[in-house]
Every structure is written in C-alpha cells, then in structure tokens.
C-alpha cells in the first residue's frame, strides 16, 4: 500500500549516484525549508529573550521561573488532539500550518505583552503550543510523502535543515541588535516577519497529499475517536509507543548534561552556551548521513547505536578522564545520539502506524517520549540529591542499558520485517 | 488546491520575502535607538566614593551622585557606565557591559578608578559591598542551558579585595537546610548582604521551588537556611534587622512586599510601600530604606520608606536606579 500511494519524483535515469539525492521528495524539501526558516525565527527570539526580560524589562529570576512553569501535560494532550483532528479531516497541512501560525503570532504578542509577567507567560505558552501542535502533522506528512525504505534519509535531511535554522537564528538576532542598537522590539518584529515567510512557503509548497494519491471521496469513512483509541490495541503500534516512552526514560536532559560537563571540566561559565552549539553542530552534520545509514542497515540498529552513544556520554561524564579532547568527544557523542534517534525513531514508527492514523500515532510517540523524559529528569534530580552527581550519572548510564534491553525486547521481532532499502 | 505554477509560487514567495523584509527593515529603522549622548564631563564636581552626605545612583546608565539633603536637586554624573552600582567606605562595585554580549564586575576605588576587573557570565542583577569596603559581591542571571529548557539560573560570586580570594559561585558551598545536609543540582543564590565581620553573610537561596534566607560562612564555605520566603536580604547598619522582599502569599508571581525581619525576634514588619518591589533595598540609615521602582515602560525612580512600617513611601531620586548611601 505504501509504494502505490507514494510518488517518487525521480527525474532522469535512476543511476546509483543520482538516486541518492533525488529520493528526498519535493514535499520533504518544502517541509525542511519551512522548518529551517521557522527555526531561524524561533532561535532569534530564544537568543535575546533573556536579555530582553532581564535588561530590557528588569524582571527578576523568580519572575522568570514563573514564566517557565508551562503546563507540559496540557501541551501533550493538545498535541494528541491536534494529531487526531489532522487525521480525521485529513488536513495535516492545515493543522501543521495552524501550529506555525500560532507561533508566528506569538512573536508579535511579545511586543504587546509589555512588562506584564502573566502576559509574557501566556505568549510563551502560545508559542510552545504552536510548536507542540505542528510537529506530529509535519512528521506525518514526511512519512506520507516518502517511500518507507527511504524514510531515514528523508528525516535525516529534514532534521539537518531544521538544525541549520537553529544555528543561524542567534546569529540573525545579534546581527539585528548590532544594526539597531539595543532594540529588542526590532528583533521580535524581524522574527515575526521571518516566521510569516515560513507560513507562506508552507501554504504554497507543502502538499497535503502527494501526486497520484486520490483525494478522498465522500465514501471514505472518517477516522473516529473509537478508531483512534483502537490504535494502541494493535500490537506493533502499541509497542512503538511503549518503546518511545521507554527510550525517553533513558534521557536526563540537555540541562543536566551541560551542567555536569561544566562542573567536571571546571569550564568558565561564559563558555557554557558553546556546549549546546557543539552538540548541535554534531547533530547537524550527522543527521543526514545517519538517516541514510538507517535506511541501509535498518532503523532499529541506528537507534540502538544512538542510545549506546548516550550511554557512553554518561560514562564519560562520570568517568575519571578529563581535558578538552574528552569534552569534544562527549559533545560529539551527545550530538550523535540526537542524530541517531530524533528523526530515525519517527522513521521507525511511521510504517508501523496505519496511514489513516499516522498523525495521531506520531503525536502519541512524541508525547510518550516527552512525558517519560519529564519523569526521568525529575528522577535524575532526586538521584543527584541522594547520591551526588557522579553516582547519579552512572545510574543514568545503567538506566540507558536497561532501557535498551527493554526496547530490543519490544521492537526486535516485528521490526525485522520492515522493508529495507530496495536492492539495486 | 490552487493550480499555481511553480514559477508563480516562487514569484509569490519572493514578493512576500521582499515585503516582509521591508516591514522588518522599516520597523528597525524607526525603532533604532538614537545614539546616546555622552554625559557632560564631570569637571571639578567629579563623582567620588568618599564617605559623605551624598547618595550614589545610576542615571541613564551612568554613575551619578546627589546630595543626601536634596536628592532630587542638582546631580553630578560621571562618565562611568554601569547597570548596577554600590559603594561603602570608599570601595565601589560596578556591573557593566564588557562588550555587546558579556559583562564584567569592576571594583572601584574612591575616585571611580577600576582596581580589579572580573568577567562574569550572564546579565547583571545585584551588587553589594560590605560596610568596611573589603568584601564585594555580585549576582548575574545565566540563560537557559539549552533550547529545550528555558530554565533560568543565577550565579553569585564574592571577592575579598584584601586577599584577592574569589568565590565564582556560591553553589560550591555546602548547604544545611532545616538542620539537614542538602544536595541538589537546582540550588541558586542571589542578593548577598555582608555582616560586620566580613566573613559571615546572608543571601537568598532557592531550591525545589522554595526561596530561603540563608546565613553563610565564607571561611567554612557553608550556608544554612534561616527562614523561608525571604529574597534579596539587606542587613541594617546596626546589624539587627534584615530588609527583604517577601513574595505575596509566598508566590513570586503575585509580586513582592518590601518588609523588614527582626533577627532577634524573627518578626516580620511590612513597610508602608504597597507597590511590588523587585530590588535589594539599601539602608540610608538605621531607619530608612531606599529602592528602585519601575514604571510600565521600565523607567526607574528611586523611592524611600521608613523601615518600621510607619509613614509613607516618597520619591527620592527621580529617573535613577541602584541607590547606595556613601557611608
């Protein structure tokens, strides 16, 4: 069913070299472009928001902590509801677009919120809501526009484009600040304009369904709530959602990883932001090649490899060896973990979820992972308190091993039959 | 959907990009701040930190001084740019921009000359000097650690200007909370105030969503909790009371009431200032507090209020912030 509903925009003779590049569909490139532009916009704001709140508005740390209290639970629920709506009305593009539009409007909201902490909190919540709503339909569109054997590459290319945007955003923000002085408003307006451009690209270039797929006739039954709940009754779908949640339990979060690195290397605190930059760089460079690798050798081995890299990261963080080479290696491994898992996990999940319920399924996978991560980061905080940072990190490495065994037990048998790359 | 040709789509995207770019550029052009005119040269009426009946404050980002008897009167503005300033016994501390993205702590002598400079992470928040002029402390905000978490943290450092010993972050100190050893990665400190012995100090510590007044010992590198819901403490010159901001209903989102804690009885008296105060107050003498309030657009004014809960707040230095008596 997959191959018949998906077009392959192969132009020219399908020679082995040419094919590698041609196999990312136009829709994936369009979605990647939208993500790239949107991330420029989002990271522009993220880069100057602390400056704006503290120096521009003179808010204090606890006021900022209040802003951070965003209801993850509510966002998670809305993500699944958004996924269901996208499936029921077969309007994935519309729901994704609504998510992008919400975040776009939020940029202007920052201008209007003034010094009111609740208003700024609400604006940030709207921004995150938009982000929560759009990711599942976007990923569903990628899976529906790509033959299953090329999903790894498609997600790899998409995630690489996405991180390029995240990379450029802060640079763009500082360029604006340099040009206009300390006018944060100008950064927000520029960010809004950039985000609006992304919505225009989405409207014009992203297609709801690939060429060749018939528009749904009136006789095609709509996805019902009951059918959505039934999704988890199917064994493969249930297993992938469980596995995603399980894998989420193995991660302690960027904040802790960078804090541990900073402490053990006694890094000047001013270099702190560069840790995230180093990780994104590795992620950006490796996302596409590892996606291609996932298509060749199977996605599960690549995800397993990613978690091995994560376990190694934790071991390095708790180990006796210090110095710059170790720091670089740790960041490279951590970036590899992201490159091996973020897109590849959805590429693994996509073919298992029925096309009718693809968005709901992906939303469940992402939500399961996010909620589990929330639990594990709290648990890690408690472990740190009880045993100190070093032993807590060793425990985290052990948790990764346990989680990996559990994931293999869940996923290995049914996923062996997932179509590999078409042989030449 | 529409049957637009690829060429038409590209034309629309290009047109949108040009239009949106013009909007952004147009807004930036109108929003650009006019270049700040440097303050007049100080000449013979230079700002000094020599103890005397004057108040130090920041006016339009520059260190300035007014007469204590006529604080809204003539003002002497120096050429020293600071975001926070404080002084005592001829020693000053200034938190100022080092370049566009980083800030530094500058220790000043009584003629406002830098004697020591330290680069600090994050954005300036609080600055204090002990009454003897020996100890200097600062607090900065450090940004969220990644793009997935916007959690904010603070770093508080202390410098001994005599020995040069520096604590870059109080987080290294051992914590006793309610009598028990407390270890947590989320411990944050802000707003140090020193006692007369230049070793003991008080500060705010936050952990697990609670904010405590802590008493610290620099030599022993320890802190212990004293009371909950006390932020930005400021010890009175006689060492008996602590001015602080108390979160309304223990919820910072509801704002803060400027209050005073009697350290002998542990009784709290709210001051007559009912507007939310988000500042570390300064004691002008043993009976009066000074603090910064901001208008909705962020414009600051320095106000004062009696510390015993009586009287009413009054506008002290219009258009200024970061007040400090020159004792």
Contact B188 A61 (CB under 8 A): yes
Query: Binning pLDDT at 50, 70 and 90, where does residue A41 land?
Result: very high
Q: Is the pLDDT of residue A295 over 70?
A: yes
What's the CA dihedral at A229, A231, A234, A238 to 10 degrees? -90
Give domain status of residue B31, yes or no.
no
User: Min CA distance, B44 vs chain A (Å)?
Assistant: 32
**Position with higher pLDDT, B144 vs B319:** B319
**Position with higher pLDDT, B251 vs B193:** B193
Cβ–Cβ contact A9 with B under 8 A: no
pLDDT of residue B253: 74
Q: Is the pLDDT of residue B7 over 60?
A: yes
What percent of chain A stands above pLDDT 90? 42
Q: Is the pLDDT of residue A16 over 60?
A: no
Cα–Cα distance list, A32 to A28, A135, A163, A198, B251 (Å): 6, 12, 10, 10, 42
Q: What are phi and psi of B150, to 5 degrees?
A: -100, 20
Give, to the nearest 10 degrees, the angle between helix A117-144 and helix A72-88: 40
Closest chain B residue to the Cα of A195, Cα to Cα: B20
Beta pairing class for B200-207 and B103-108: unpaired
Q: Which helix (H) or strand (E) holds A28?
A: helix A26-51
Give domain status of residue B126, yes or no.
yes
Residues of A in contact with B121 (CB under 8 A): 268-270, 272
Q: Is the pLDDT of residue A296 over 60?
A: yes
pLDDT of residue B217: 97
pLDDT of residue B132: 96
- Beta bridge partners of residue B215, listed in sequence order: B202, B224
What's the CA dihedral at A369, A371, A372, A374 to 10 degrees? 120
Give domain status of residue B14, yes or no.
no
Q: Are B127 and B86 in contact (CB under 8 A)?
A: yes
For B47-57, write each residue's pLDDT tens digit: 999 999 999 99
Picking from A178, A142, A187, A173, the residue whose alpha carbon sits closest to that of residue A30 is A142
Q: Is the pLDDT of residue A8 over 70?
A: no
Give domain status of residue B194, yes or no.
yes
Which ipTM score applies to this complex?
0.73
pLDDT of residue A69: 43
- Please, what's the largest Cα pairwise distance for chain A? 66
Closest chain B residue to the Cα of A194, Cα to Cα: B20
User: Min CA distance, A111 vs chain B (Å)?
Assistant: 12
pLDDT of residue A422: 43
Q: What are phi and psi of B285, to 5 degrees?
A: -155, -170
Number of domains in chain B: 1
Q: Which of residues 25-64 of A touch B (CB under 8 A)?
A: 43, 46, 49-51, 54-64
Give domain status of residue B22, yes or no.
no
Q: How far apart are CA A300 and CA A407, in angstroms?
A: 9
Contact B184 A381 (CB under 8 A): yes
Could you give the domains of chain A? 25-211 (1.20.1250.20), 230-419 (1.20.1250.20)
Q: Which of B124, B155, B253 sits opposite A269 (nearest CB)?
A: B155
Q: Is the pLDDT of residue A28 over 90?
A: yes
Taking one residue from A and the other from B, the number of pairs with CB-CB distance under 8 angstroms is 175
**Position with higher pLDDT, A125 vs B316:** B316
Contact A272 B121 (CB under 8 A): yes
Query: How high is the mean pLDDT of chain A?
Result: 82
Cβ–Cβ contact A229 with B under 8 A: no
User: Min CA distance, B249 vs chain A (Å)?
Assistant: 14
Q: Which of B12, B33, B141 sits opposite A50 (nearest CB)?
A: B141
Residues of B in contact with A190 (CB under 8 A): 24, 27-28
User: Min CA distance, B201 vs chain A (Å)?
Assistant: 21
pLDDT of residue B148: 31
pLDDT of residue A23: 67
Q: Which of A51, A190, A204 sits opposite B12 (nearest CB)?
A: A204
Contact A269 B169 (CB under 8 A): yes
CATH of the domain at B319: 2.120.10.30
pLDDT of residue A266: 67
The residues near B240 (Cβ < 8 Å, ≥ 6 apart) are: B262, B263, B264
**Position with higher pLDDT, A348 vs A184:** A348
| pTM: predicted TM-score of the whole model, two decimal places | 0.77
Query: Binning pLDDT at 50, 70 and 90, where does residue A72 land?
Result: low
Q: Is the pLDDT of residue B45 over 80?
A: no
Q: Which of B121, B141, B149 sits opposite A270 (nearest CB)?
A: B121
Q: Which of residues 68-97 of A touch B (CB under 8 A)?
A: 68
- Beta bridge partners of residue B138, listed in sequence order: B127, B157
Give domain status of residue B15, yes or no.
no
Q: Is the pLDDT of residue B288 over 80?
A: yes
For B184-208, write each residue's pLDDT tens digit: 877 889 999 999 999 999 999 988 7
Interface mutation target, options A204, A210, A374, chain B, most CBs of B under 10 Å: A204
- For B50, the 3-state DSSP assignment is coil
Is the Cα torsion angle A263, A265, A271, A273 positive or negative in sign? negative
Give domain status of residue B10, yes or no.
no
In eight-state DSSP terms, residue A23 is: T
Query: Binning pLDDT at 50, 70 and 90, where does residue A413 land?
Result: low
CA angle A311, A387, A259 (to 5 degrees): 55
Query: Binning pLDDT at 50, 70 and 90, where does residue A11 land?
Result: very low
Range from A80-94, A267-281, A333-347, A368-382 carrying the lowest mean pLDDT: A267-281
For B213-233, write each residue's pLDDT tens digit: 999 999 999 999 999 999 999
Residues of B in contact with A272 (CB under 8 A): 121, 142, 145
Picking from A380, A296, A381, A373, the residue whose alpha carbon sits closest to that of residue A338 is A373
Query: Binning pLDDT at 50, 70 and 90, where does residue A262 land?
Result: confident
Kindly provide the residue ranges of all beta strands, DSSP E only, lying in B165-221, ordered along the sequence. Answer: 166-167, 174-177, 180-182, 188-194, 200-207, 210-217
- For A148, the 3-state DSSP assignment is helix
Q: Is the pLDDT of residue A420 over 60?
A: no
Contact A65 B152 (CB under 8 A): yes
Q: Which of B13, B27, B300 sits opposite A204 (nearest CB)?
A: B13
Query: Binning pLDDT at 50, 70 and 90, where does residue A132 land?
Result: confident
Helices and strands (H, E) in chain B, number of each type: 1, 26
Q: Are B315 and B326 in contact (CB under 8 A)?
A: no
Residues of B in contact with A389 (CB under 8 A): 185
CA angle A33, A107, A118 (to 5 degrees): 140
Cα–Cα distance list, A10 to A13, A19, A152, A421 (Å): 8, 7, 18, 16
Q: How far apart are CA B264 and CA A317, in angstroms?
A: 46
Measure the N-to-C terminal CA separation of chain B; round to a whole number of Å: 75
Q: How far apart are CA B138 and CA A257, in angstroms?
A: 26
Q: Is the pLDDT of residue A142 over 70?
A: yes
Query: Binning pLDDT at 50, 70 and 90, where does residue B151 land?
Result: low
User: Min CA distance, A19 vs chain B (Å)?
Assistant: 23
Give domain status of residue B316, yes or no.
yes
Q: Which of A43, A61, A204 sits opposite B141 (nearest CB)?
A: A61
pLDDT of residue A73: 61
Q: Which of A56, A185, A201 sits opposite B298 (nearest CB)?
A: A56
Helices and strands (H, E) in chain A, number of each type: 16, 0
Range from A53-67, A350-364, B19-33 carrying the lowest mean pLDDT: A53-67
**Position with higher pLDDT, B293 vs B102:** B293
Q: How far apart are CA A46 and CA A284, in angstroms?
A: 19
Q: Is the pLDDT of residue B150 over 50?
A: no
Q: What is the 3-state secondary structure (H, E, C) of B27-45?
A: HHHHHCCCCCCCCCCCHHH
Domain containing B292 equals 38-325
Range from B24-33, B61-70, B130-139 carrying the lowest mean pLDDT: B24-33
Query: How high is the mean pLDDT of chain B?
Result: 89
Residues of A in contact with B153 (CB under 8 A): 61
Q: How far apart are CA A181 and CA B61, in angstroms?
A: 15
Q: How far apart are CA B127 and CA A263, in angstroms?
A: 25
In eight-state DSSP terms, residue A276 is: H
pLDDT of residue B279: 92
* Averaged pLDDT, A12-34: 68
């Amino acid at each position: 069913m997959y191959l018949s509903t998906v077009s392959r925009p192969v132009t020219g003779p399908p020679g082995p070299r040419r094919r590698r590049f041609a196999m990312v569909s136009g829709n994936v490139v369009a979605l990647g472009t939208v993500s790239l532009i949107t991330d420029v916009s989002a990271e522009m704001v993220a880069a100057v928001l602390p400056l704006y709140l503290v120096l521009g508005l003179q808010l204090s740390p606890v006021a900022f902590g209040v802003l951070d209290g965003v209801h993850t639970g509510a966002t998670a629920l809305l993500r699944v509801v958004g996924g269901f709506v996208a499936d029921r009305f077969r309007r994935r593009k519309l729901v994704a677009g609504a998510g992008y539009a919400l975040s776009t409007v939020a940029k202007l909201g920052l201008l209007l919120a003034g010094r009111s902490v609740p208003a700024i909190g609400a604006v940030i919540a709207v921004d995150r809501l938009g982000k929560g709503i759009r990711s599942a339909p976007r990923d569903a569109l990628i899976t529906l526009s790509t033959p299953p054997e090329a999903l790894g590459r498609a997600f790899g290319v998409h995630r690489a484009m996405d991180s390029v945007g995240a990379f450029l955003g802060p640079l763009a923000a500082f360029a604006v600040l340099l040009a206009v002085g300390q006018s944060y408003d100008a950064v927000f307006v520029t960010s809004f304009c950039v985000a609006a451009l992304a919505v225009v690209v989405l409207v014009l270039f992203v297609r709801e369904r690939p060429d060749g797929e018939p528009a749904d006739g009136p006789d095609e039954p709509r996805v019902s709530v009951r059918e959505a709940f039934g999704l988890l009754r199917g064994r493969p779908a249930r297993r992938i959602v469980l596995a995603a949640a399980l894998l989420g339990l193995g991660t302690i979060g960027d904040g802790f990883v960078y804090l541990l690195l900073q402490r053990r290397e006694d890094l000047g605190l001013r270099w702190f932001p560069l840790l995230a930059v180093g990780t994104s760089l590795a992620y950006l460079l490796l996302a596409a090649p590892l996606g291609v690798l996932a298509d060749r050798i199977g996605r599960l081995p690549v995800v397993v490899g990613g978690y091995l890299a994560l376990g190694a990261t934790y071991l390095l963080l708790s180990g006796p060896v210090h110095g710059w080479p170790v720091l670089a290696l740790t960041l490279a491994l951590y970036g590899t973990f992201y490159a091996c898992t973020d897109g590849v996990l959805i590429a693994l999940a996509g073919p298992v979820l029925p096309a009718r319920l693809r968005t709901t399924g992906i939303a469940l996978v992402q939500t399961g992972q996010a909620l589990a991560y929330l639990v594990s980061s709290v648990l890690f905080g408690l472990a740190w308190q009880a045993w100190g940072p070093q032993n807590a990190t060793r425990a985290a490495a052990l948790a990764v091993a346990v989680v990996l065994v559990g994931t293999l037990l869940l996923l290995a048998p049914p996923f062996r039959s997932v179509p590999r790359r078409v042989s030449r | 959907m529409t049957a637009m040709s690829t060429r038409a789509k590209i034309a629309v995207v290009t047109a949108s990009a040009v239009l949106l770019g013009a909007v952004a550029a147009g807004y930036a052009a109108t929003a650009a701040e006019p270049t700040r005119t440097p303050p007049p040269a100080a000449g013979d009426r230079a700002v000094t930190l020599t103890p005397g009946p004057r108040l130090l404050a920041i006016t339009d980002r520059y260190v300035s001084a007014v007469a204590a008897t006529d604080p809204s009167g003539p003002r002497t503005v120096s050429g020293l740019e600071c975001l926070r300033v404080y002084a005592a016994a001829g020693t000053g501390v200034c938190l100022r921009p080092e370049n566009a993205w980083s800030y530094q702590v500058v220790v000043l002598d009584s003629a406002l000359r830098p004697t020591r400079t330290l680069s600090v992470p994050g954005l300036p928040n609080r600055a204090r000097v002990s009454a003897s002029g020996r100890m200097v402390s600062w607090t900065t905000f450090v940004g969220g650690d990644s793009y997935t978490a916007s959690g904010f943290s603070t770093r508080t450092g202390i410098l001994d200007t005599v020995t040069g010993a520096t604590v870059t972050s109080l987080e290294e100190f051992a914590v006793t909370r309610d009598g028990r050893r407390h270890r947590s990665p989320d411990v944050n400190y802000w707003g140090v105030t020193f006692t007369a012995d230049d070793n003991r100090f008080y500060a705010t510590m936050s952990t697990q969503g609670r904010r405590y007044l802590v008493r610290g010992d620099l030599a022993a590198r320890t802190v212990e909790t004293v009371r909950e819901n006390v932020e930005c403490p400021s010890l009175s010159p006689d060492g008996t009371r602590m001015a602080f901001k108390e979160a309304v209903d223990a919820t910072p989102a509801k704002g803060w009431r400027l209050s005073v804690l009697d350290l002998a009885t542990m009784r709290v008296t709210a001051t007559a200032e009912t507007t939310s105060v988000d500042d570390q107050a300064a004691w002008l003498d043993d009976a009066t507090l000074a603090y910064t309030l901001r208008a909705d657009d962020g414009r600051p004014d320095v106000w004062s209020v009696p510390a015993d809960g009586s009287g009413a707040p009054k506008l002290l230095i219009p258009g200024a912030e970061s007040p400090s008596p020159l004792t």
